[in-house]
Amino acid sequence: MTADTLHEQKILILDFGSQYTQNIARKARECQVYCEVRPCTLSFNKIETFNARGIILSGGPASVLAEDALLCDPRLFNMKIPILGICYGMQVITHILGGKVDPSPRREFGGAKLMLKEFSNLFEEVANNSTVWMSHGDRISKLPNGFKGVAFTDNSPLAAIENSAARIYGLQFHPEVVHTAAGKKILHNFLFEICQCTKNWKIDSLVDHMVGDIKDKVGNSQVICGLSGGVDSSVAAVLIHKAIGRNLHCLFIDNGLLRDGEKARVENTFRDNFNINFDVIDASEKFLKKLAGVTDPEQKRKLIGNTFIKVFEEEAKQRGSFTFLAQGTLYPDVIESVSVKGGPSAKIKSHHNVGGLPKKMQLKLLEPLRELFKDEVRALGRELGITNEIINRQPFPGPGLAIRILGGVTLERLAILRAADKIILEEIKAARLYNDLWQSFAVLLPIKTVGVMGDARTYENVIAVRAVTSSDGMTADWAPLPHDLLGKLSNRIINEVHGINRVVYDISSKPPSTIEWE
């Protein structure tokens, strides 16, 4: 599936390193307009051949005043297509087109009230004095020729600028985050009023195109797929099976890092519901041996990724001649692992499907979901007829419990975490909150604390409970679980899990934290 084969209209997002860049893409797709994120260093020739209906310049953590500031090709502004600069992107526009950017006397982070002073197509049906989200240390002190200010805040005299004749617009705030009240409407206006896009990105129209693309890429080759039973790998497997049938061979790798009863659930689900080639491989001993004594989270992920591939290659040799390894890699997985296709985004952590793969791999990768967000994958799964039990399953990381054990991974620590995790899921489901949460799980901390049990002193482990709400995993808020539920979780874990004498609750959001602790 590519934008070139599926859509004539699309939006190009040039990434200057903002952690919110993918939110722009999601908001555009929610408006049913296809878009892709590319690095701001993308060559002008590739920008031209992308044939975008409009271009969005993202925010970024740096300053255009820096000696090594990231900029875009000035020829961009002579293409006669609409351009929207967000935060750093607006300052790039100003800097390149002859305006002036200076350090702000007062940095601005958080909510502000946006005052509209002139009509702009960008703000059509946007209420005056609405809340916007600011995050900047510089501001514009002189506009480029042909531009005017159309909105301001107390700290930003030029919070929105435009050259309507050239169809170039700039916002000092972030419309892509939920904290900007009219953010989606502003992006909607850019897409439809200014770029004149039409709604052509619909999941129900993707299946046939994606199936066709898989057929073209794979041909008569054999494909081996790592099926974990999660949403991503399940949708990928069913989609590929629809395209190539029995040429797909799915393997469930028991890496010894699974939750309680996981292997039996996955095996039963796919043997009972899908006519797919499916085998279970017990490779737990190999994984645990590789992880012995390893405490660094990045090393854990990469060791697991490498071992995962080696197991697959070994199994592929035993089962026949395979050309492709299929994975359920999603867009956020790619973004969090590396800078977007060579761009400036800060690396957060390696995803096991991306950062953990060996450089020399005998199998070619087949990743049909690589450009989709989680909610899009779930919608695709429903179109494919996959059951809600699978579609609504909370995400579980490929490295499994290894990255929920801070410090070394041992059989004893796995058993402790597995038991605590089981209690959390049982109680969350009993409280009918499971489908309201993006993820809910336990983390075993690398510390011990003093406690008292049966009038005796204990010195045992600490479990952290993590529960978040999110729509795509790119941002997340900690979930305010009911106090009685938290009390029940703590009571059960301490009483039923040998080796735990303290339970804490994680109340940090993403950003600045990540959902997983490692």
pLDDT tens for each residue of 357-416: 455 567 889 999 988 888 889 999 999 988 888 888 898 988 999 999 999 999 999 999
202-209: average pLDDT: 80
Burial class (CB in 10 A: 0-12, 13-18, 19+), 411: exposed
Which band of pLDDT confidence, cut at 50, 70 and 90, is reported for residue 355? very low
262 compared with 426, residue with greater pLDDT: 426
pTM assigned to the model: 0.69
Parallel, antiparallel, or unpaired: how do β-strands 83-86 and 168-171 relate?
parallel
Displacement of CA 73 from its chain's centroid (Å) = 28
7-13: average pLDDT: 82
Within 68-190, where are the H helices? 88-96, 183-188
- Which one, of 442, 453, 460, 441, lies nearest residue 502 by Cα? 460
Residue 191: pLDDT above 60? yes
- The whole-number pLDDT of residue 20 equals 84
- The whole-number pLDDT of residue 351 equals 47
Query: What 3-state class would DSSP assign to 319?
Result: helix
70 compared with 315, residue with greater pLDDT: 70
Q: What percent of the chain has pLDDT over 70?
A: 92
Mean per-residue pLDDT over the chain, rounded: 88
Element (H, E) at 15: strand 11-15
Q: Is 174 part of the annotated catalytic residue set? A: yes
Backbone dihedral angles phi then psi of residue 326, each to the nearest 5 degrees: -95, 140
134 compared with 331, residue with greater pLDDT: 134
Of 36, 108, 176, 371, catalytic: 176
3-class secondary structure per residue, 259-294: CCCHHHHHHHHHHHHCCCEEEEEECHHHHHHHHCCC
Residue 272: pLDDT above 80? no
Which of 60-74, 295-309, 371-385, 410-424 tops mean pLDDT?
Answer: 410-424
94 compared with 139, residue with greater pLDDT: 94
Which range is least confidently modeled, 150-164, 219-233, 267-281, 476-490?
A: 267-281
Per-residue pLDDT tens over the stretch 293-302: 999 999 999 9
- The whole-number pLDDT of residue 46 equals 95
Q: What would the DSSP string read from start to end of 469-497? A: E-SSSSSBEE----HHHHHHHHHHHHHHS
- Which one, of 198, 161, 160, lies nearest residue 180 by Cα? 160
- The whole-number pLDDT of residue 282 equals 94
Which range is least confidently modeled, 34-43, 70-79, 361-370, 422-431?
A: 361-370
200-211: average pLDDT: 82
- The whole-number pLDDT of residue 5 equals 44
457-470: average pLDDT: 95
- The whole-number pLDDT of residue 344 equals 55
- The whole-number pLDDT of residue 335 equals 60
Backbone dihedral angles phi then psi of residue 252, each to the nearest 5 degrees: -100, 115
203-207: average pLDDT: 78
Residue 2: pLDDT above 50? no
Which of 330-344, 444-458, 479-493 tops mean pLDDT?
Answer: 479-493
Residue 276: pLDDT above 80? yes
Of 174, 188, 351, 352, catalytic: 174
- The whole-number pLDDT of residue 195 equals 96
Of 31, 35, 72, 87, catalytic: 87
Which range is least confidently modeled, 181-190, 286-295, 369-378, 455-464?
A: 369-378
